[in-house]
């Protein structure tokens, strides 16, 4: 079982879109996939039409008093399950800094289902901060969607610093950055991408275009591949997934 966490301290960069669509692609290829919606806003949960509630409270899973398996809901897609968002996650960011390390606990909770799934996607809220080592303990890889604007640089600067300071940890954690919401017509986007690729050759080749098809996920309440099979964004997520697999 591989655990992939979407990560970016900024909101609205496409973390949830990434988790939902990659999970859908991976499941369609016959992998057994679980999405765990850790964002109390519950966007991933909404896209799968599931009610944002965990019986007994989502915190109880993280605390270990509720079995993760009891909270799992099957989505409408074969081989694709979901742990819904729960309002009790709203202080998840605060717990991060206390000694209890909730993301370590998340990893522990996931161990109960490690035989059942090939891939787990953790859809993280933007408030999770990179400074906490528990993020790294929880995941095998970070998926970092990056909008090609200077504002996104901060995440990368932070990542750089972290990699420098924690060389041991980074050996085990794969950091997979890629460009999201790319508008090829914008000269600014193109220039920024070239610059960042020069500084970070490890950035993935595949990019996700800025697309109204993806925006419409909120209307359809489905992954883009479900209603736009073979569309340009659906193909982009397919390509991103194949590239990610070569890096894991």
CA 181/CA 214 separation, integer angstroms: 9
Residues 105-144 within binding reach of other proteins (CB under 8 A):
118
Residue 210 pairs with which residues in a beta bridge?
A: none
Please provide the DSSP assignment of 205-239 as one string: S---B--HHHHTHHHHTS-HHHHSTTSHHHHHHHH
What is the bridge-based pairing of β-strands 2-6 and 33-37? unpaired
Residue 139 in contact with Mg ion, rule: CB under 5 A: no
Q: Of the two residues 112 and 158, which places its CB atom closer to ligand ADP in the complex?
A: 158
Considering only 5, 25, 43, 208, the residue that binds Mg ion (CB under 5 A) is 43
What, of ligand ADP, Mg ion, other proteins, none, does residue 210 touch, CB below 5 to 8 Å by kind? ligand ADP
Residue 225 in contact with ligand ADP, rule: CB under 6 A: no
Q: Of the two residues 32 and 238, which places its CB atom closer to ligand ADP in the complex?
A: 238
CA 118/CA 133 separation, integer angstroms: 24
Residue 72 Cβ, how far from other proteins at the closest point, in Å?
6
DSSP letter at 195 equals H
Residue 36 in contact with other proteins, rule: CB under 8 A: no
Residue 73 in contact with other proteins, rule: CB under 8 A: yes
Residue 50 in contact with other proteins, rule: CB under 8 A: yes
CA 144/CA 110 separation, integer angstroms: 21
Sheet strands (E) in the chain: 2-6, 33-37, 73-74, 80-83, 119-123, 141-146, 174-179
Residues making contact with ligand ADP (CB under 6 A): 8, 11-17, 43, 180-181, 208, 210-211, 214-215, 217-218
List of residues contacting other proteins (CB under 8 A): 29-31, 48-51, 71-74, 76, 78-79, 81, 118, 221
């Amino acid at each position: 079982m591989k655990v992939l966490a979407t990560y970016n301290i900024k909101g609205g960069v496409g973390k949830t879109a990434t988790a939902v669509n990659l999970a859908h692609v991976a499941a369609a290829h016959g992998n057994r996939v679980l999405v765990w919606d850790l964002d109390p806003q519950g966007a991933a949960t909404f896209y799968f039409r599931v009610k944002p509630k965990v019986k007994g409270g989502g915190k109880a899973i993280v605390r270990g008093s509720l079995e993760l398996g009891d909270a799992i809901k099957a989505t409408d897609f074969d081989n694709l399950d979901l742990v819904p968002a729960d309002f009790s996650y709203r202080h998840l960011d605060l717990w991060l800094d206390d000694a209890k390390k909730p993301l370590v606990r998340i990893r522990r909770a996931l161990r109960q289902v490690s035989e059942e799934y090939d891939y787990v996607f953790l859809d993280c809220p933007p408030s999770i901060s990179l400074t906490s080592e528990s993020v790294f303990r929880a995941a095998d890889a970070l998926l970092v969607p990056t909008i090609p604007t200077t504002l996104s640089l901060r995440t990368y600067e932070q990542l750089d610093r972290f990699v420098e300071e924690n060389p041991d940890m980074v050996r085990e954690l794969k950091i997979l950055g890629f460009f999201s919401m790319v508008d090829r017509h914008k000269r600014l986007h193109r220039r920024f991408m070239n610059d960042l690729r020069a500084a970070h050759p490890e950035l993935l080749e595949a990019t996700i275009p800025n697309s109204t098809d993806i925006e419409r996920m909120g209307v359809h309440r489905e992954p883009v591949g479900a209603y736009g099979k073979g569309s340009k964004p659906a193909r982009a997520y397919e390509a991103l997934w194949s590239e990610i697999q070569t890096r894991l």
